[in-house]
């Protein structure tokens, strides 16, 4: 993977497809959700690094329609992880001037989770970073 610094003509928009976290955990003898948690921690590191690297936009593809085919317990774990991430990171995202926008279909998501997403978008709507 190429390494860029803020002085390079590196990418202004980076997109990440979060894939393989469950397999990564399973290969290490850990539960699949352990891998998803590791992926969420990595997203935090990436969000923090983007401004220093000159990245203006970060797109994270974290849950596809195919993910609904996972076991009910894994989907529930992912949704809980998503809720925890929003709760834990909201203040830091705002403090670091990160504008958050969720894209995609929210119809199948729990209404409380959708409300959390809406609140985070509103909280960060005037932010200027990533």
* Positions marked catalytic: 19, 67
Q: Are 52 and 6 in contact (CB under 8 A)?
A: yes
- Report the alpha-carbon distance of residue 71 to residue 67 in Å, rounded: 9
18 class by beta-carbon count within 10 Å (0-12 exposed, 13-18 middle, 19+ buried) = middle
List the Cα angle 8/124/60 in 5-degree steps.
Answer: 55
Of the candidates 1, 74, 66, 68, the residue with the CA atom closest to the CA atom of residue 36: 74
């Amino acid at each position: 993977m190429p390494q860029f610094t803020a002085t390079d003509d590196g990418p202004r928009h980076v997109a990440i497809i979060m894939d393989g976290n469950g397999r990564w955990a399973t290969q290490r003898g850990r539960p699949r959700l352990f891998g998803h948690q590791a992926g969420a921690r990595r997203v935090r590191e990436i969000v923090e690094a983007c401004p220093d690297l000159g990245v203006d936009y970060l797109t994270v593809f974290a849950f596809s329609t195919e993910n609904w085919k996972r076991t009910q317990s894994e989907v529930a774990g992912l949704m809980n992880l998503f809720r925890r991430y929003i709760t834990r990171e909201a203040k830091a995202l705002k403090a670091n001037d990160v504008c958050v926008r969720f894209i995609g279909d929210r119809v199948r998501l729990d209404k409380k989770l959708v409300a959390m997403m809406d609140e985070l978008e509103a909280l960060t709507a005037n932010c200027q970073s990533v």
